[in-house]
Amino acid sequence: MLGVIGGSGLYELEGIKVLEELEISTPFGKPSAPLLVGEVEGKKVVFLARHGREHSYPPHLVPYRANLWALREVGVTRVFAVSAVGGINPLLKPGDFVLVDNFLDFTKGREVTFYEGRLSKEVEGSDEVARLLREGKVVHIDVTDPYCPQMRETVACILEEKGFRFHDRGVYACTEGPRFETRAEIKALSLLGADVVGMTGVPEVVLARELTMCYCSLCVVANPAAGISQNRLTSDEVINLMKEKEEQIKGIILELIKRLEDRSCSCADVLKGAEV
């Protein structure tokens, strides 16, 4: 099943019939919002508001592990995550979509893994993930290419057909937030090869991958990053842009639900040989 994680400005999926609202608690705490289970043309989809329905979790305090674990509990195997970002690459304009294909991690104080060796949480289940946690294994997953190529390709086709301005790859730099970046930080990130900057993409993608899920990030350029334009950055600017893009994003999600075929990628195999 597809799970959709909505970021700033995307707190529900209007237009998709909600069948159930699930309050789930996990060994990693409570997710940031109830899970909304919906259906589109007979296919189920689950929606989760990353920052909570009232946007009450700042990026560095989002319960990423609880969010991903809750999605796993309801049977999600693929995650489509929508995030607002600042544009660093001068080719990017506000409103552009970017299907990022790699990341740089500058976060500091987040829980970055499910696999904590002897300190791993007690979990239920009989699959490989549950076994590794129960046996207290140390696990190093490969993240050379962290985003699912099959999902990225499908979404790229949808964006192309809809005629939206988009970039089919890009490097996402994740900062700790909740402040925006300094001019010098953006200059440094640019020199390091970052195209966009956000505060939530990591560890979300890593945690999804640790659970053998496919993960695809649709980044929406909400503003030029600090120092790229002369304006002061505001949350208003970000939220307003995301509201403007809401209809387009919903259209993309609807199309993705209809179009996703069986998994032909290797995301499900990420735990092979990963335990020590």
Binding site for ligand HPA (CB under 6 A): 84-86, 175, 180-181, 197-199, 222-223, 225, 233, 238
Buried b / exposed e along 9-48 (16+ C-beta atoms within 10 A)? bbbebeebeeeeeeebebebeebbbbbbbbebeeebbbbb
Contact 208, 72 (CB under 8 A): no
Q: Are strands 196-198 and 78-87 parallel, antiparallel or unpaired?
A: antiparallel
Give the nearest distance from C-beta 262 to ligand HPA in angstroms.
34
For residues 56 and 229, which CB has a smaller minimum distance to ligand HPA in the complex?
Answer: 229
Nearer to ligand HPA, 132 or 220 (CB): 220
Helices (H), 2-107: 64-73
Q: For the chain, percent helix, then strand, then coil, each to nearest 5?
A: 30, 25, 45
Q: What is the DSSP letter of 200?
A: S
**Of residues 26 and 175, the one with the C-beta less far from ligand HPA:** 175
Q: Which is nearer to ligand HPA, 104 or 274 (CB)?
A: 104
Work out how close the CB of 245 gets to ligand HPA at its nearest, in angstroms, rounded to a whole number.
12
Give min distance, CB of 182 to ligand HPA, in A: 11
In order of 8, 26, 61, 112, 247, the CA distances from 52 in angstroms are: 10, 16, 11, 20, 20
Quote the least distance from Cβ 7 to ligand HPA, whole Å. 8
Q: How far is the CB of 248 from ligand HPA (least distance, A)?
A: 17
| Runs of H (alpha helix) within 96-224 | 128-134, 149-162, 183-191, 201-210
Residue with tokens 């007690």: 122
| Nearest-approach distance from CB 233 to ligand HPA, in angstroms | 6
In the bound state, the residue with its beta carbon closest to ligand HPA is 86
| Cβ proximity to ligand HPA, 51 vs 72, nearer residue | 51
Nearer residue to ligand HPA within complex by CB, 25 or 231: 231
Does 59 sit behind a cis peptide bond, omega within 30 degrees of 0 on the bond before it? Answer: no
Minimum CB distance to ligand HPA smaller for 4 or for 222: 222
**Residues pairing with 171 in the sheet:** 102
Q: Which two tokens stand for residue 190?
A: 């640019």
Question: To the nearest whole angstrom, how small is the minimum distance from the Cβ of residue 104 to ligand HPA?
Answer: 13
